[in-house]
A and B are shown apart, each in its own frame.
Chain A
Amino acid sequence: MARNIVQYIFYRFMQSVLSLFGVILIVFILSRILPGNPAVAILGPKATPENIERVTREWGLDKNYLDQFTIYISRLFRGDLGDSYVMGYSVSRLIMERLPASFELVITAFILSLAIGIPLGILAARRHDTKLDLILTSLAVMSFSFPSLLLGVLLLIFFGVNLGLPVGGRIDPRYSINFYTGFVILDTLLNGNIAAFFDAFMRIIPPALTLAIPLAGLLLKLSRNSILEVMMQDFVRTARMKRLPENVVMYKHILRNALLPIVTVAGLYFAVLVTGDIVVETIFAWPGLGRLVWEAVTLRDYMVIQGSVLVISIIYIAINAVVDILYIYIDPRIRG
C-alpha cells in the first residue's frame, strides 16, 4: 500500500512537471506569434537599433525556434523573466514585490470563506428541510452566480461610501512601517502600530470578502450535503442509540467524517482564488500580482503580462498538486 502512495505521488509530480512544461511552451509560442519583431515586444516601441540587436543576441531571436526555446527555458530557470520596458525593472523583481500582497489577500479570503461557509453549512444541515435551510442554500446558490465585478463594486460602495471606511490600497501611505513578513497586517502588529493595523485591517476586509463570498457559498452547500450524507449512515444511528449527547454525535462523529473531504475540496478552490483576484485587485487598487496584470495590460507591457501569467500558473499548478497529494493522506479510501 505504501508503495502505491509513493507511486501515486511520483505520478502526480510528473504530471505537474508536464503541465509546467506545457504552460511554458504555450507562453513561449504566444510570445513568438506576437505580430512584429519579438525584440520590439520585449523592448517597447521606442527601442533603439542597438538595443534591438542586443536583445536579439541575448534571446537568440536570430536562431531557430528550438534554440530560442532552449534559451528561453534556461533563462527562466535562472529566474529571468526579462525586463519591463515601461516600468524599467526586471519582471521577476516586479512580481516578487507584488506577490506578498496577493498572498495576504488570498489567504485572508480563504480563512474568511471557511469561517463563513462551514458554520452556516453545519447550521443548514442541523435544521435541514426547514425555512432556514432553504434560505441558506438559496443564498449559497446565488452567491456563486454573483459576479465578482458586481460584488466588488457593491462592497466598495458599501464600505467606502455608506460606512465611510478607508477603501483601496493596502494601507494609508502616511503610516510608515518596517516590513518583516511582507504581510501588512502582521507587520503593523510587529511594529506595534495599532492605528496602522486597524487601517490595514479595514482595507483588506472588502476585497477579501469579495473573493470569499462565492467560495463561502460553495462550502456551505458542500458541507451541508456532506453532513446530511454522513448523518444517514449506520454508525451515527449507533452513536445515537448509545444515547450519546447530540453535540458529541455532531462534533465527534459526523463533522469529523463530513468535513475532512470538504477542507481538501476547499484547497482546490484556493487555487481558483489565486486567479480570481485579478478583477478584485483591480477594483480595490490592491497592489498585488493581479493588479500588476491589469497595469501591464493597460500599458501594453507584454513581458510583464507573460511573466505574471507564468508565475500565477505555476502557483496554481503547485497548489493543485499539493492538495491532491494531501488528499490521499486524509481520505484513506483513495489509498486502497
Chain B
Amino acid sequence: MNMNKLDSFKELLKIKRVRYGISILTFLAILSISVIFFSPYEYDQISYKIHLPPFTPSDRAWPYIFGTDNLGRDIFTRTFYAFILDVSCGLAIIALSGSIGLIIGLVSGYLGGTVDSILMRIMDIVISIPGFMLAIAIAAVLGSSIFNAIIAVVIVTIPIYARLVRGIVLSVKESLFILAAREAGLGSLSIIVKHILPHVIPTFITQATMELSNAIIYIAALSFIGLGAQEPVAEWGLMISSARRYVREAWWPAVFPGLAMFLTVLSFNLIGDGLRDYLDPKKRVSISG
C-alpha cells in the first residue's frame, strides 16, 4: 500500500472483474450523456405511437432503438435517463448512510462504554429487521416520492457501515501507534482522523461499492411497488411496473430497463468484489476467476 495512487489504480485495473465493471459503467454513462444531449425525444414526451417494437424507424433523427412504451414514449431515452437517476440515487444513499454510519462507528468504537452499547443495540435492532420491510414502513409513512424512498433506504443501511467501522476501530484502537499518539498529546479528534480513519477507509470503500448496487435495487424495488419515483419520471423499477401489465403484447418496455439495471448492478458488484480481493490477498486464493 506504499505505492502512489496512480500505481495502485493501475494495479487494481489488472483485476479482470474491475476492468469489466468499469468498462460496462463507462459505456452506459457515455450512452446516458449522449441521450441527454442528443436524443431527439424527451423522456416524458407522450405520443400516439404506442408499443412500437425496437428499431422501428421514425421521422426523427434516431429510430426508436428500444421501441416505445404504452404511452408512446421512447424507451431508449427513458432507460438512460433512468440510469442517471438511479445511479445518482444510489450514490446519494451510500454518501448519506455511509457518512452517518462512519461517524457512528468511529464514535462508538473509539469511546466504548455506555455510548457504544446504546448505539450498537440500536444498530442491532435495525439490522435484525428485514431491510426492505423497514424501508417500506418508513417510505409509507413519509409518502410516495423518490426523496422519501432515499431517506428510507439510508436509515435501513446505516447499521451496515456503523458495525463494520466499529469493528475496525476496535481492532486498531489498542495498537502501539495509537497509544504513542495519545502519549504525544494528540487529541481524540486528531487521533481518529489522522490515525484511525486511514485504516477504516479501504474496507469502508469496498463495502460502499457493494452497497451501491443494493441501494439501486432498493430504490427500483420501492418504486416498483409504488413507494418511490412517480410517473412520468424515468426510473427502472417504475418503468418495469408500468410495463408489467402489457407484457403479453410488448416485452420491450419491461426488458430493456431491466437489462440496464442488471448491467449496472453487475458492474458495481464486479468492482466491489475485485476491490475486496485486492485489499484482502487471502481471498484471492479461494475464489478464483
Contact = CB atoms under 8 A, between A and B. Distances in A.
Given A138-B289, A293-B225, A317 B258 contact: no
A282 B205 CA distance: 34
A305 B137 contact: yes
Given A293-B225, A309-B136, A160 B248 contact: yes
B169 interface: no
Interface in A254-282: 271-272, 274-276, 278-279, 282
B286 interface: yes
Contact of B133 (A18, A137, A156, A313): A313
Interface in A202-235: 221, 225, 228-229
B225 A313 contact: no
Interface stretch (B57-65, B101-109, B216-224): B216-224
A153 interface: yes
Contacts of B248: 160-161
Interface string A314-336: 00110010000000000000000
B226 A298 contact: yes
Given A154-B255, A297-B225, A305-B136, A271 B130 contact: yes
Contacts of A221: 287
B32 interface: no
Q: Which range contains the number of B residues in contact with the other chain? A: 35 or more
Interface string B259-274: 1011001100110010
A149 B133 contact: no
A35 B140 CA distance: 11
Contact of B130 (A31, A225, A279, A313): A313
A297 B129 CA distance: 19
Nearest to A274: B130
Contacts of B129: 19, 22-23, 26, 313, 316-317
B255 A309 contact: no
Nearest to B288: A129
Nearest to B213: A145
B128 A297 contact: no
Interface string B117-140: 000010011101111111011101
Interface string A32-53: 0111000000000000000000
A145 B269 contact: yes
B269 A157 contact: no
Interface of A: 15-16, 18-19, 22-23, 26-27, 30-31, 33-35, 129, 134, 137-138, 141-142, 144-147, 149-150, 153-154, 156-157, 160-161, 221, 225, 228-229, 271-272, 274-276, 278-279, 282-283, 293-294, 297-298, 302, 305-306, 309, 312-313, 316-317, 320
27 contacts: A15-B128, A16-B128, A22-B125, A23-B128, A34-B141, A145-B269, A146-B262, A147-B220, A150-B240, A150-B259, A150-B261, A153-B244, A154-B255, A161-B248, A221-B287, A275-B131, A278-B221, A282-B224, A282-B225, A293-B225, A297-B144, A297-B225, A297-B227, A313-B130, A316-B129, A316-B133, A317-B128
Given A161-B247, A278-B225, 14 more contacts: A19-B124, A22-B125, A23-B128, A33-B141, A145-B266, A150-B255, A228-B286, A272-B130, A293-B136, A294-B226, A297-B136, A297-B225, A313-B129, A316-B129
